[in-house]
């Protein structure tokens, strides 16, 4: 910590961070482009100038770049000196000289960092009357659109893509006024993090092509905090809606999980919600031989319930949906719908994580590990954001080396020059590898030296022996007084949550349905909840199982193979249309909320599976009563009655437009805004607009900061933790630890 004087006031600041970072944490509006809290600074844009004074008598001072300035005890700076302001304005004028006049057709417009900075520096009139430099654009694949004319040469894209995320195919070309950011030739970007270029780029060079297909301005979108359901990491996302349709997914900052970035699967994988294959209506089959037909009448699940019912849940469905089904059919008739092997391994993994032996680290803690052993899991495929965290952890040695030489971590380019691509001790071991013993031995040595050793493994490639080995290593390390971190990648977004409920395996379910029992125990109805069984076992096995049931009820959102076999097909709301809780691989329970008001016959899974509970809170109450392991969810997540200043939190921005015209083609009388009984968020522009509790932040905006850079205004410090309640989510395994 150091005490410095900014604009005549003294502040306590962190000496390991640079001046800009500290000023932003204190809430000063210093314009910047090239600095990124997660990537450090390189001093490329020259915009974050401040004036530094040698001592109290120095009245003239000198202009320095705050992002390249270490904090020194007693330093005196001014952020709003007239010289500094003029300097920033002239820098921006230079950057704008070649910037095209196309904001109206630019997808970044309205959430553009360059627009914000232009306004902030006060550059209003264009004096440069000569011709503008232009560039040809490249085809960068189906996700990212390239418009190089808009570039302001901040280097953020290549720094993220190459240095931070380890991509190889995006680079900087040319020199002087011709600097070009792109690929060597046209082609799809290869990195699984390419989507982050949209958020990293301060202007509209890289824009979201998927979003462009149904574009809406940021101010018009209704934003909802949600949780990505594409893998077991549970990255936080913002789902945005306009005219009742999901438009895009953006990153939602969670200092313990995904930070500033999400992978492409999370960002672009939401489009299935708008798919023509969506089940939007109840489908019925008159007899086994007839077609599955759409029905217009509304109905409930109880219309079709048989005498002996078995319910198959899903690790891809929310905790509440699974519990509602469990409650409907009874514990002994509830199946997890996963194979015996997966079931066993999952349970064993959770027992390991729940035990006090090992620590279950968050992604942010993985970044801080100094020795990592990856056992039998291809994390780049099954949990890409964990691979990104491991990549950061691999730099731990060079950062330590830099510190030794007096180069702070934020001085990114210098640290990278120093390490010359040297990577820290992390080892990737697959059980099929031949030299496994040798590698493990090496890893053992590294672990002995490390302070935060970490083992990463997973269900998909793992086996019981690995888990046993983890346990043994943990015991060994314990003797040295160290705690082993173990991070296990699970196959689906709620695998952990489901495993905490009772249930049968798929094999046991088949046996129950098989009909070898007594006649009165014969199963006549099976309810399958958001689970495509054909992906979990061979076609013959599932066909045989479903054929034996008198009636197959499927509750799902996409017309998949299982849905086609249904006798009764009920339309389920997808994750962006319903609220619920999922538990990620770390044991962190996180709540997602519906981004679209439900229409027609769509209902969330938990709503189909029960008649007694009217909203999510009632399901959660019953869940906690039945399974006390989840009590932290009830205690720590705001329920639907939660209010900020007596108001619900508005999903729409205060600039939201078209309220009196968007439904006017149907009826000129404006309807009442749809009600949301499951969350403290409102489908309206009316409501609380300040800084809501961390898990309920619908979008990032602050006066003068319309771009995603406004994220920092919601954090205790850039790259820190979310203000007003800490990082969202409740760690369930910690609670057990405390007991």
Partner 1 sequence: MLSLIRSIFYTFLHAFHKRETQDYPEKMPYLPPRYRGRIILSRDPDGKERCVACNLCAAVCPVDCISLQAAEGDDGRRYPEFFRINFSRCIYCGLCEEACPTYAIQLIPDFEMADYNRQNMVYEKEHLLISGQGKYHGFNFYKEAGVNMGVKATGGGENENQPVDLKSLIH
* Tokens read off for 213: 């297909």
**Residue 185 engages partner 1 in binding (rule: CB under 8 A):** no
Site string for partner 1, 252-271 (x = CB under 8 A): --------------------
Q: Which is nearer to partner 1, 9 or 185 (CB)?
A: 185
Task: Report if residue 180 touches partner 1, rule: CB under 8 A.
Answer: yes
Which residue, 451 or 670, has its beta carbon nearer to partner 1? 670
Residue 420 binds partner 1, judged by CB under 8 A: no
Which of these ranges, 135-143, 195-203, 257-265, 424-432, lies near partner 1 under the rule CB under 8 A? 135-143
Q: Does 214 bind partner 1 (CB under 8 A)?
A: yes
Q: Is 671 in the site for partner 1 (CB under 8 A)?
A: no
Nearest to 148 by CA among 115, 174, 182: 182
**Which listed residue (69, 111, 147, 586) binds partner 1 by CB under 8 A?**
147
- Give the nearest distance from C-beta 585 to partner 1 in angstroms: 39
Provide, rounded to whole angstroms, the least separation between the CB of residue 33 and partner 1.
19
Q: Which of 78, 149, 702, 724 binds partner 1 (CB under 8 A)?
A: 149
Q: Does 657 bind partner 1 (CB under 8 A)?
A: yes
Spatial contact of 506 and 293, defined as CB atoms under 8 Å apart: no
Residue 307: φ, ψ to 5°: -85, -50
The least distance separating partner 1 from the CB of residue 138, rounded to whole angstroms, comes to 11
Half-sphere exposure of 126 (CA within 13 A, CB side): 12
Per-residue buried b or exposed e for 361-379, using 16+ beta carbons within 10 Å of the residue's own CB: bbbbbbbbbbbbbbbbbeb
Binding to partner 1 (CB under 8 A) within 107-126 occurs at 109-110
- Under the binding rule (CB under 8 A), the answer on residue 448 touching partner 1 is no
Residues with Cβ within 8 Å of 538's Cβ and at least 6 positions away in sequence, in order, are none
Helix (H) or strand (E) holding 689: none
Residue 342 near partner 1 by CB under 8 A: no
Give the CA dihedral 701, 703, 704, 708, nearest 10 degrees: -10
In sequence order, the β-bridge partners of residue 40 are: 36
127 binds partner 1 (CB under 8 A): no
- Minimum gap (Å) between residue 144 Cβ and partner 1: 15
Does the protein bind partner 1 through residue 186 (CB under 8 A)?
Answer: no
139 in contact with partner 1 (CB under 8 A):
no
If you ran DSSP here, which 8-state letter would residue 160 be given? I
Q: Based on CB atoms, which residue is closest to partner 1, 10 or 173? A: 173
Spatial separation of the C-alpha atoms in residues 244 and 267, rounded to whole Å: 19
The distance of closest approach from Cβ of residue 271 to partner 1 in the complex, given in angstroms and rounded to an integer, is 17
Query: Is residue 689 a contact point for partner 1 (CB under 8 A)?
Result: no
CA distances from 603 to 524, 565, 596, 688, 732 (A): 25, 21, 12, 27, 28
Burial of 119: CB neighbours in 10 Å, binned 0-12, 13-18, 19+: middle
Residue 44-83 contact track with partner 1, rule CB under 8 A, x = bound: ----------------------------------------
Counting contacts by CB under 8 A, is residue 135 touching partner 1? yes
Among 561, 655, 677, 737, indicate the residue that binds partner 1 (CB under 8 A). 655
In Å, how far from its chain's centre is CA 656?
A: 25
Is position 658 an interface residue for partner 1 (rule: CB under 8 A)? Answer: yes
Quick check: 660 binds partner 1 (CB under 8 A)?
yes
Nearer to partner 1, 100 or 600 (CB): 100
Residues of span 232-251 touching partner 1 by CB under 8 A:
243
Asked if 219 interacts with partner 1 (CB under 8 A), we say yes
Which CB atom, from 115 or from 585, has the smaller least distance to partner 1? 115
Among the listed residues 352, 324, 380, 296, the one whose alpha carbon sits nearest the alpha carbon of residue 571:
296
Quick one: which of 8, 176, 406, 671 contacts partner 1 (CB under 8 A)? 176
Q: Does 704 help bind partner 1 (rule: CB under 8 A)?
A: no
Which contacts qualify for 442-450: CB closer than 8 Å, 24 or more apart?
443/371, 443/373, 444/473, 446/371, 447/371, 447/373, 447/473, 447/477, 448/480, 449/371, 450/369, 450/370, 450/371, 450/425, 450/482
Least distance (Å) between residue 242 CB and partner 1:
8
| Measured torsion, CA atoms of residues 104, 110, 114, 116, in degrees rounded to the nearest 10 | 130
Two tokens at 539?
């076609």
> Is position 468 an interface residue for partner 1 (rule: CB under 8 A)?
no
Of 41 and 652, which has the nearer Cβ to partner 1?
A: 652
Q: Residue 40: left (phi > 0), alpha (psi -120 to 50), or beta?
A: left
Using CB under 8 A, pick the residue from 60, 101, 479, 738 that binds partner 1: 101
Is 202 near partner 1 (CB under 8 A)? no
Closest CB 470 distance from partner 1, rounded Å: 51
Q: Which is nearer to partner 1, 28 or 219 (CB)?
A: 219
Determine, following the binding rule CB under 8 A, whether residue 177 of this chain makes contact with partner 1: yes
Q: Are 261 and 38 in contact (CB under 8 A)?
A: yes
Distance (Å, whole) CA 29 – CA 265: 34
Distances (CA, A) of 263 to 229, 482, 687, 734: 12, 32, 32, 27
Per CB under 8 A, the list member of 78, 137, 171, 636 interacting with partner 1 is: 137
Residue 25 and residue 411: Cα distance in Å, rounded?
18
CA-to-CA distance for 270 and 210, rounded, in angstroms? Answer: 10
Figure out which of the listed residues 38, 436, 662, 736 binds partner 1, where binding follows CB under 8 A. Answer: 662
639 three-class SS: coil
> Can you tell me the distance from the alpha carbon of 685 to that of 688, in angstroms, rounded to the nearest whole number?
9
Q: How far is the CB of 133 from partner 1 (least distance, A)?
A: 6
Is 669 a binding residue for partner 1 by CB under 8 A? The answer is yes
Q: What is the dihedral of CA 229, 456, 191, 495, to 10 degrees?
A: -10
Q: Which is nearer to partner 1, 180 or 413 (CB)?
A: 180
**Shortest CB 177 distance to partner 1, Å:** 8
Residue 220 contacts partner 1 per CB under 8 A: yes
Neighbours of 94 (CB within 10 A): 13
3 state SS of 57: coil
Query: Minimum CB separation from partner 1 for residue 185, in Å?
Result: 11
The answer to whether 105 contacts partner 1 (rule: CB under 8 A) is yes
Residue whose C-alpha is closest to residue 6's, from 32, 33, 28: 28
Q: Which is nearer to partner 1, 214 or 265 (CB)?
A: 214
Per CB under 8 A, which region of 27-35, 169-177, 263-271, 459-467 contacts partner 1? Answer: 169-177
Binding site for partner 1 (CB under 8 A): 99-106, 109-110, 131-137, 147, 149-150, 173-174, 176-178, 180, 212-217, 219-220, 243, 655-662, 664-665, 667-669
């Amino acid at each position: 910590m150091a005490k410095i004087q900014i604009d005549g006031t003294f502040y306590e600041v962190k000496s390991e961070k640079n001046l800009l970072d500290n000023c932003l944490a204190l809430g000063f509006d210093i314009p910047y482009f090239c600095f990124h809290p997660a990537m450090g600074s390189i001093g490329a844009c020259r915009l974050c100038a401040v004036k530094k004074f040698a001592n109290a008598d120095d009245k003239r001072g000198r202009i320095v770049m705050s992002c390249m300035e270490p904090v020194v005890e007693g330093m005196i700076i001014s952020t709003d000196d007239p010289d500094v302001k003029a300097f920033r304005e002239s820098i921006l004028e230079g950057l704008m000289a070649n910037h095209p006049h196309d904001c109206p057709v630019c997808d970044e417009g309205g959430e553009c960092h360059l627009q914000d900075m232009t306004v902030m520096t006060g550059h209003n009139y264009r004096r440069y009357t000569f011709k503008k430099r232009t560039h040809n654009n490249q085809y960068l694949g189906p996700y990212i659109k390239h418009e190089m004319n808009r570039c302001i040469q901040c280097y953020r894209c290549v720094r993220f893509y190459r240095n931070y995320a380890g991509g190889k195919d995006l680079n900087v070309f040319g020199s002087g006024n011709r600097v070009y950011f792109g690929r060597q030739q046209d082609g799809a970007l290869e990195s699984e993090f390419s989507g982050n270029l949209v958020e990293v780029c301060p202007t509209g060079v890289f824009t979201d092509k998927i979003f462009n297909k149904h574009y809406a301005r940021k101010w018009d979108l209704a934003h909802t905090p949600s949780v990505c359901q594409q893998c077991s990491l549970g990255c936080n996302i913002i789902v945005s809606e306009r005219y009742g349709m999901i438009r895009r997914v953006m990153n939602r900052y969670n200092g313990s999980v995904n930070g500033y970035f999400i992978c492409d699967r999370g960002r672009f994988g939401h489009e299935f919600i708008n798919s023509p294959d969506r089940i939007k209506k109840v489908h019925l089959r008159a007899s086994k031989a007839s077609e599955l037909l759409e029905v217009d009448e509304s109905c409930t699940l109880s219309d079709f319930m048989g005498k002996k019912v078995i319910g198959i849940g899903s690790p891809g469905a929310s905790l509440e949906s699974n519990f509602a089904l469990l409650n409907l059919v009874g514990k002994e008739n509830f199946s997890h719908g996963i194979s015996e092997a997966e079931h066993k391994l999952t349970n064993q993994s959770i027992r390991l994580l729940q035990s006090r032996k090992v620590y279950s680290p968050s992604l942010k803690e993985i970044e801080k590990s100094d020795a990592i052993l990856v056992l039998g899991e291809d994390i780049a495929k099954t949990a890409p954001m964990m691979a990104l965290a491991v990549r950061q952890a691999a730099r731990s040695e060079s950062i330590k080396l830099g510190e030794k030489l007096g180069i702070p971590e934020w001085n990114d380019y210098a640290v990278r020059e120093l390490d010359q691509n040297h990577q820290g001790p992390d080892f990737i071991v697959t059980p099929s590898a031949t030299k496994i013993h040798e590698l493990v031995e090496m890893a053992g040595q590294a672990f002995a030296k490390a302070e935060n050793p970490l083992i990463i493994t997973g269900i998909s490639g793992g086996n019981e022996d690995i888990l046993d080995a983890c346990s043994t290593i943990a015991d060994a390390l314990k003797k040295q007084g160290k705690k082993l971190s173990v991070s296990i990648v699970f196959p689906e977004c709620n695998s952990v949550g489901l495993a905490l409920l009772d249930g049968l395996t798929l094999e046991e379910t088949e046996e129950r349905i098989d009909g070898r029992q007594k006649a009165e125990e014969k199963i006549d109805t099976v309810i399958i909840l958001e689970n495509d069984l054909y992906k979990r076992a061979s076609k013959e096995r599932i066909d045989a199982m479903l054929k034996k049931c008198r009636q197959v009820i499927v509750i799902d959102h996409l017309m998949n193979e299982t849905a086609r076999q249904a006798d009764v097909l009920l339309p389920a709301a997808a994750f962006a249309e319903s609220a619920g809780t999922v538990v990620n691989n770390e044991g962190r329970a996180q709540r997602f909320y519906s981004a679209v008001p439900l229409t027609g016959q769509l209902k969330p899974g938990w709503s189909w599976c029960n008649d007694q509970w009217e909203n999510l809170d009632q399901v959660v109450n019953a869940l906690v009563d039945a399974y006390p392991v989840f009590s932290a969810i009830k205690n720590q997540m705001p329920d639907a009655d939660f209010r900020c200043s007596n108001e619900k939190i508005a999903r729409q921005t205060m600039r939201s437009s078209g309220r009196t015209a968007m439904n006017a083609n149907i009826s000129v009388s404006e309807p009442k805004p749809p009600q949301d009984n499951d969350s403290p968020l409102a489908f309206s522009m009316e409501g609380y607009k300040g800084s809501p509790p961390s898990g309920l932040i619908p979008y990032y905006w602050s006066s003068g900061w319309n771009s995603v850079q406004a994220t920092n205004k919601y954090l205790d410090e850039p790259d820190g933790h979310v203000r007003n309640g800490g990082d969202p989510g409740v760690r369930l395994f910690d609670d057990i630890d405390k007991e």
